[in-house]
């Protein structure tokens, strides 16, 4: 005798008859569903039953519409994907995968609905086994952090780890990283490891690995294809070019920025095209840049000093805030000015005070495209006369470079020389 609708609803609510992970068939008024019973988020509506369909997507079915639930036999080989490694091949190149966390190493927490880092490099390889078709992948973890929690001391850990492989047989090093601050890390590594003999690529994903819509696999495969196919130097970021899965973009590490909070093609090269495009259908690489990465590696300069402040100017900005920075032992200030590189004249005296106190002051622009030209308007000329240094680079890159330059110089004059030199193609 089949249970009535009340009994079905009661059993679903109490979870007394069906267990998480059971393969069940749900019969409703208008349709039937087969899938794996999933846990619900702690804070979501409990009047729905959540199942993972055999195509990988999760659906919520209103309990009031359920007529009957049948527990089915255990999943068979026909409906389970078994993920295994390919055997190591002596003919494939060697690639190192360093894991630091982020969405690419995250899964969904069904208690809270939050996405949290849970996978290390080895587990990423298990979840994306097809990467073994392209290279012999060695994996190691450095730390497991969401990118918003990564701070400059983490950058140094990554750099030290990479330097330890400078004489290895790897053709490239890939770093799995959270997307929110990936461009800060890529900028630091570009300066600290300038001239490193093999390509270094940061890769992430906008959607976690356990989601069917995840972009992690294509991004990682594209990064592997790039380090195999581009046998040179440089630090890069590889992510989707757009919402389509057909092309991944490879950006120079000092010229890239995350310009969208959630879509796949979130990263863009500021002021130009991506340096390379990786075509996923056949793996060929299109080169959009004539920049040559052939600097000599001197062992890395990984020191930095975080006494740097980024000030985004806006109408009405209180000069007292700038005075606070000057009085609290900061050694560099990066101004994110308007237009060609301007701030209001209410800040001139404070800027003059900062420079007189041997604090480096650099000017960037809030404009996404275009360059600093401080000799066009009177405001820019006055700021230049005060000693403000024009910096034709992304504000975030300028902040990272200032930390690195401050950590590798003895005085403000040395720092100014470093900031004015194009070290890793950071200039627009």
Q: Catalytic positions, please? A: 103, 179-180, 258
DSSP assignment letter at 338: B
Number of neighbours of residue 292 by Cβ within 10 angstroms? 10
Handedness of CA 107, 108, 112, 114 (dihedral sign): positive
Nearest to 210 by CA among 38, 19, 26: 38
Instruction: Report whether 424 contacts 254 (CB < 8 A).
Output: yes
CA distance 297 to 300: 7
The residue ranges of DSSP E strands in 347-400, in sequence order, are: 360-365, 389-390
What residues have CB less than 8 Å from 13, skipping those under 6 apart? 46, 63
Q: What is the DSSP letter of 326?
A: H
Rounded-to-integer distance, Cα 220 and Cα 203, Å: 6
Provide the 8-state DSSP code for 58: E
Closest to 192 measured CA to CA, from 231, 222, 163: 163
């Amino acid at each position: 005798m089949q249970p009535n609708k009340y009994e079905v609803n009661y059993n679903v609510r109490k979870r007394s008859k069906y267990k998480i992970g059971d393969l069940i068939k749900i019969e409703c008024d208008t349709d039937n569903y087969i899938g794996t019973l999933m846990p619900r988020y702690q804070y979501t509506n409990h009047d729905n039953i959540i199942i993972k369909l055999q195509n990988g997507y999760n659906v919520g079915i209103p309990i009031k519409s359920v007529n009957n639930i049948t527990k089915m036999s255990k999943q068979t080989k026909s409906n389970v994907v078994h993920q295994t490694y390919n055997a190591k091949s002596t003919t494939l190149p060697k690639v190192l995968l360093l894991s630091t966390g982020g969405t690419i190493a995250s899964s969904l927490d069904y208690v809270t609905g939050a996405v949290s880092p849970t996978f290390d490099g080895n587990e990423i390889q298990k979840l994306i086994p097809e990467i073994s078709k392209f290279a012999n992948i060695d994996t190691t973890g450095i730390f497991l952090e969401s990118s918003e929690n990564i701070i400059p001391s983490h950058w140094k850990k990554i750099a030290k780890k990479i330097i330890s492989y400078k004489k290895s047989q790897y053709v490239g090093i890939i770093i799995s990283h959270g997307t929110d601050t990936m461009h800060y890390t890529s900028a630091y590594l570009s300066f600290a490891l300038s001239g490193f003999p093999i390509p270094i690529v940061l890769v992430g994903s906008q959607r976690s690995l356990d989601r069917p819509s995840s972009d992690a696999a294509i991004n990682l495969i594209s990064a592997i294809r790039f380090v195999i196919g581009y046998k040179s130097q440089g630090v890069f970021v590889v992510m989707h070019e757009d919402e389509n899965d057909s092309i991944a973009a490879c950006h120079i590490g000092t010229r890239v920025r995350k310009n969208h909070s959630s879509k796949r093609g979130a990263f863009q090269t500021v002021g130009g095209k991506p340096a390379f495009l990786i075509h996923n259908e056949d793996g060929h690489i299109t080169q959009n840049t004539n920049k040559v990465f052939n600097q000599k590696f001197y062992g890395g300069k990984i020191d930095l000093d975080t006494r740097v402040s980024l000030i985004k100017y806006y109408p009405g900005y209180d000069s007292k805030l700038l005075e606070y920075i000057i009085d609290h032992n900061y050694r560099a200030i990066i101004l994110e000015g308007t237009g060609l590189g301007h701030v209001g004249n209410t800040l001139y005296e404070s800027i003059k005070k900062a420079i007189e106190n041997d604090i480096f002051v650099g000017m960037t622009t809030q404009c996404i495209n275009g360059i600093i030209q401080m000799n066009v308007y009177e405001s820019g000329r006055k700021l230049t006369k005060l000693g403000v240094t024009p910096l034709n680079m992304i504000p975030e890159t300028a902040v990272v470079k200032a930390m690195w330059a401050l950590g590798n110089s003895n005085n403000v004059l040395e720092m100014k020389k470093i900031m004015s030199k194009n070290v890793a193609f950071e200039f627009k």
